[in-house]
A and B are shown apart, each in its own frame.
Chain A
Amino acid sequence: MLDLTTKETVERKALRINPAKTCQPIGAMYAALGVHGCLPHSHGSQGCCSYHRMQLTRNYKEPVMASTSAFTEGASVFGGGANLKTAVKNIFELYAPEIIAVHTTCLSETIGDDLKTIISQVQSDVPAGKYVIHANTPSYVGSHVTGFSNMVKGFVSYLSVNSGHKNGKVNILPGFIDPGDMRELKRILSVMKIDNILFPDTSGVLDAPMTGTFEMYPLGGTKVMDIIDAGNSKLSIALGTYSAEAAAIELEKKCKVPMKTLSTPIGIEATDRLISELALITHKAVPCSIEEERGQLVDLMLDSQGYFSGKKVAIYGDPDIVAGLTEFVISLGMIPKFIISGTPGETFTREINAILTTNEVEGAVVKSAADLFELHQWIKNEPVDLLMGNTHGKYIARAEDLPFVRVGFPILDRYAHQYFPIVGYKGAIRLIEMMSNAILDKIDRTCAEEDFELVM
């Protein structure tokens, strides 16, 4: 397994090996699927759309509907305006979405297609009350996380309006998390009786039930009218600097909705911050049921601490998720040793270093725009006790016989993850279950027979 990965590290400036990121458009497609009645549209070659649909489907085991401008060499020379016009006409006739969310690709960005102008030119083919919006998502900037962020911002730019009628709601921008996480956020908000607009919302879309019929547009997703109305909310809370903040800033700029950025609520501390913030909004005590969940989590942390204490962890993935996990493993008494993100940007290293400094953790290696090849090399030089990240890490886990917890995007080789959260106290409880199982399974698998324990 990964036999050609050398222990000796060589500095690389140009060659990316085994990336910990992919390109913007897939994030944009995922975000657009979180809007009810929306058909994501990829403005580029057919392959982009195909690849993104495939990978999202592999992740969620659900239909992922999206269309493409199907660029050929001609379109690449003359521009893709005519392709998009044809596409819009066909899509509304055949697939009748409420809204088409166009994202660009490296192809349409490189030739400089002006989507704003093209979209204004296709309005005659847009039925009354329906929308075509776009986001620029060049594949050569940022990562899939950037694409998600840009698409959410794109919806705001095109749709949200401050009509002057306050709706008394709170906008929650959940960032790039799974349907199970979005569902959990909605549950918490409902328990705390906070009238909200969660946007986007892929629950009910990418975890849709089997009913015997295919729904092109499943029941879930944020309604377009709610995105419009988001301009009238009293506050926006963005959960994550990388994947959620941009849309909240846009809402503030465009609609004067005040905003606040919090971390993705992974682990006890980040969830505490969210719940405290929400309690401030309601001016009420935190509901007993939430306190009960928190108490259960703390109970579990105490019960299981012996298996976590002092263990070294390597964490990789998307910045907002990795930040949450880093803070959480510290609260479990673990030592985050290698913390990387494939997504470029100094904000990540700044955020992680702040967490490490606050908690007086020393000797950790933190890097953005990193890849799994170098992470593996570091682990070869300094072994860790636990590896946490998306499916791609399974090769490293096997090569080095590491306990491995699948968390983040994508998870291609396990089932049912889209139904369960990693956010909130419940999500933290689930993370502890997964982490302790991984660690205990390895002990059971590798210990001497005389050390094999009935009770652990």
Chain B
Amino acid sequence: MKHIIDKVLEKYPAKTFKNRKQHIVIKKQDDDVLKITANTRTIPGMITNRGCCYAGCKGVVLGPIKDMIHIVHGPIGCSYYTWGTRRNKAKTEPGGQNYIEYCFSTDMQESDIIFGGEKKLREAITEAVEIFHPSAITISATCPVGLIGDDINAVAVWAEKLYGIQVLSFNCEGYKGVSQSAGHHIANNNLMKSVIGTGTKVPSKKHSINILGEYNIGGDGWEISRVLKKIGYDIVCVMTGDGSYEQIKNAHTAEVNLVQCHRSINYIAEMMDTKYGIPWIKVNFIGVSGTIETLRNLALYFDEPELIEKTEKIIAEEIAEIEGVMQFYKTRLEGKTAFIYVGGSRSHHYQTLLNDLGIETIVSGYEFAHRDDYEGREVIPDIKLDADSKNIEHMSVEKDEKNYRMILTPERYEKLEKVIPLSKYEGLFKDMKKNTVIIDDLNHFETEELIKALKPDMFFSGIKDKYVVQKMGVTSKQLHSYDYSGPYAGFRGALIFAKELTSGVHTPAWRFVTPPWKVEPLLEGKVVGGDE
């Protein structure tokens, strides 16, 4: 493996070589303790998969909240590209509003750039209020807004006063940070500061949970909720897939936070722990074994025999429903190898599902993760903040005396953290097998070289590299958009995934890539004019 990686790296110009080699590690032994460089600038010209701060803030975290009007302050493109493209499905709540099918922008023109866009933003808010009467609005800044100095925060304050609704502003200009990650953080901060804890709901008696970092791509959140509700959990809110502003306001009333996508939402989980005393558990609803483990951990968290029993009963029921067919797909996929490269958590989660199907992951990596997503949260104190990270506010919160609850006693906490991932994420490295490669901020060059060298049977990434890899003869699935299908989470989702993956690997079309006449002579006959 080292030989292969060296061969890839040696083609880089000297400076680029020095940089990229710190982002690529090989796990040689199962117990290797590895270190990686992550969350640093992408080198210009590399053909990265990364997006921007705005994409992480408005595109990922805020966009799925269905009952707020999300106004993007900027030229039209930024708002346009986040319109319906991330597949965070949402159903309208009874009596509620749902803006998921809409796209709102101030559509800044040259004169707004020259003379400032605040006036237009104010007008846009006024028009939105007059037409829709929303219960809340967000404003997301795009690159030029920060550069020309439009004060979106002042506009938000003005609008709140005038219209008596919450108007939240997010300074998530695209150039901030080094990837979408900065935007997640900015979104987390303001949701924590302004929304969470503002609801008036009284904490419910039993088994109330929040699901954090679940964006309901392809309906994942609905499949997860189906099972959780069947067991008897009360889901206070989901952040933010099919998310509701009204529900997020009451997030502080839950008894535990389940963290699915660690990268995009760990800030809120941490802060809610400090402020409201709500512990968080790292969960993984991707893959049958991942879902089972998560459900058991959750039952252990509440530690009631009845709940544990019910959990086992539901697990058995759900497994019975899919087992036979799953087994069939496993026979069609077992022994194959995978290359997986997604954003911040899926590259880890999906290995559970692939593993269930007998598929080995030989390369994995994250697009915008930090070192803790690779090495585990214990590395956080050692992470040195560079200039790009320092520009993103690190919000700290204090105990909310009114709403703080002692949900777990210190003794119970201590006991629990030994058996379940309580406020803990151990990272991707731990679960990678020996002789595998882990790459941070993979680029096109590395993708192409590694596909050629390692010839995996399947590739999982996004839309930008899907067809590149498919052209190379390798089945390629989008794990951002699930190729417009889903859900893939939970028990039933695993089955859909297995079915689609099997069809991707075995579709008859692969047989036709090489024309028959390239394989065998087209015509049989004598050579005319030769010696008879």
Chain A residues with a Cβ under 8 A of chain B: 1-4, 6, 10, 12-19, 21-23, 25-26, 41, 44-48, 50-51, 53-55, 57-58, 61-76, 83-84, 86-91, 93-95, 105-107, 110-111, 138-141, 143, 208, 210-215, 373, 392, 395
Contacts and interface: CB of A to CB of B under 8 A. Distances in A.
Given A48-B174, A62-B467, A75-B175, A106 B75 contact: yes
B166 interface: no
B123 A140 contact: no
A105 B101 contact: no
Contact of B53 (A47, A210, A211, A213): A47
Given A16-B104, A19-B107, A89-B45, 6 more contacts: A22-B77, A55-B81, A66-B47, A70-B42, A91-B45, A373-B102
Contact of A14 (B44, B92, B120, B175): B120
Contacts of A111: 147
A394 B462 CA distance: 24
B387 A74 contact: yes
Contacts of B176: 72-73
B300 interface: no
A72 B175 contact: yes
A10 B131 contact: yes
Interface in B46-90: 46-55, 71, 74-81, 83, 85
Nearest to B515: A211
A395 B101 CA distance: 8
A312 B144 CA distance: 41
Given A22-B77, A63-B468, A107 B144 contact: yes
B375 interface: no
A65 B468 CA distance: 9
A53 B98 CA distance: 29
Given A70-B41, A70-B42, A91-B45, A10 B130 contact: yes
B143 A106 contact: yes
Nearest to B71: A15
B121 interface: yes
22 contacts: A2-B102, A3-B92, A4-B99, A12-B131, A14-B122, A15-B131, A21-B80, A23-B80, A46-B51, A47-B51, A47-B52, A53-B464, A66-B47, A67-B44, A68-B45, A76-B143, A84-B44, A90-B44, A140-B75, A143-B76, A210-B470, A210-B471
A48 B77 contact: yes
A-B pairs, top 7 by smallest CB distance, nearest first, are A47-B52, A23-B77, A87-B45, A14-B123, A45-B174, A90-B45, A87-B44
B76 A50 contact: no
Contacts of B396: none
Interface in B101-151: 101-110, 112-113, 120-128, 130-132, 142-144, 146-148
Interface string B435-472: 00000000011001000000000000011111111111
B101 A17 contact: no
A50 B471 contact: no
Given A50-B51, A50-B52, A61-B467, A72 B388 contact: yes
- Of A15, A64, A214, most buried by chain B (CB within 10 Å of CB) is A15
- Of B46, B99, B104, most buried by chain A (CB within 10 Å of CB) is B46
Nearest to B146: A76
A107 B468 contact: no
A107 B174 contact: yes
Contacts of A10: 127, 130-131
Nearest to A76: B175
B9 to A, nearest CB: 12
A241 B176 CA distance: 38
A13 B130 CA distance: 13
A17 B104 contact: yes
Contacts of A62: 467
Nearest to A9: B131
A74 B386 CA distance: 12
B268 to A, nearest CB: 23
A50 B49 contact: yes
- Of B42, B85, B464, most buried by chain A (CB within 10 Å of CB) is B464
A193 B141 CA distance: 53
Contacts, number: 258
A236 B320 CA distance: 69
A2 B101 contact: yes
A12 B127 contact: yes
B502 interface: no
Contacts of B127: 10, 12-15
Given A4-B132, A54-B81, A90-B44, A23 B75 contact: yes
A45 B468 CA distance: 23
Contact of A140 (B13, B110, B130): B110
Given A65-B444, A107-B174, A57 B55 contact: no
Interface string B467-494: 1111111000000000000000000000
A57 B110 contact: no
B153 interface: no
Contact of B55 (A22, A26, A47): A47
Nearest to B512: A210
Contacts of B52: 45-48, 50
Interface in B1-33: 11-13, 16
Given A4-B97, A57-B464, A211-B513, A51 B77 contact: yes
A86 B147 contact: no
Contacts of B83: 18-19, 392
Contacts of A4: 97-99, 102, 132
Contacts of A17: 102-104
B179 interface: yes
Contact of B81 (A51, A72, A213, A373): A51
A6 B43 contact: no
Contacts of B471: 63, 208, 210-215
Interface string B169-180: 000001111110
Contacts of B46: 67, 70, 90, 94
Contacts of B179: 46
Contacts of A208: 471
Contacts of B104: 15-17
Contacts of B16: 90, 93
Interface in B310-346: none
Contacts of A55: 81, 85
B200 interface: no
B295 to A, nearest CB: 35
Given A22-B81, A90-B44, A210-B471, A138 B105 contact: no
- Of B47, B74, B469, most buried by chain A (CB within 10 Å of CB) is B47
Contacts of B409: none
A13 B46 CA distance: 41
B204 interface: no
Given A3-B98, A14-B127, A107 B80 contact: no
B143 A140 contact: no
B11 A94 contact: yes
Given A106-B142, A110-B143, A50 B55 contact: yes
B51 A88 contact: no
Contacts of A215: 471
Contact of A139 (B49, B77, B130): B77
B391 to A, nearest CB: 6
- Of B43, B74, B75, B179, most buried by chain A (CB within 10 Å of CB) is B75
Nearest to A373: B102
B466 A95 contact: no
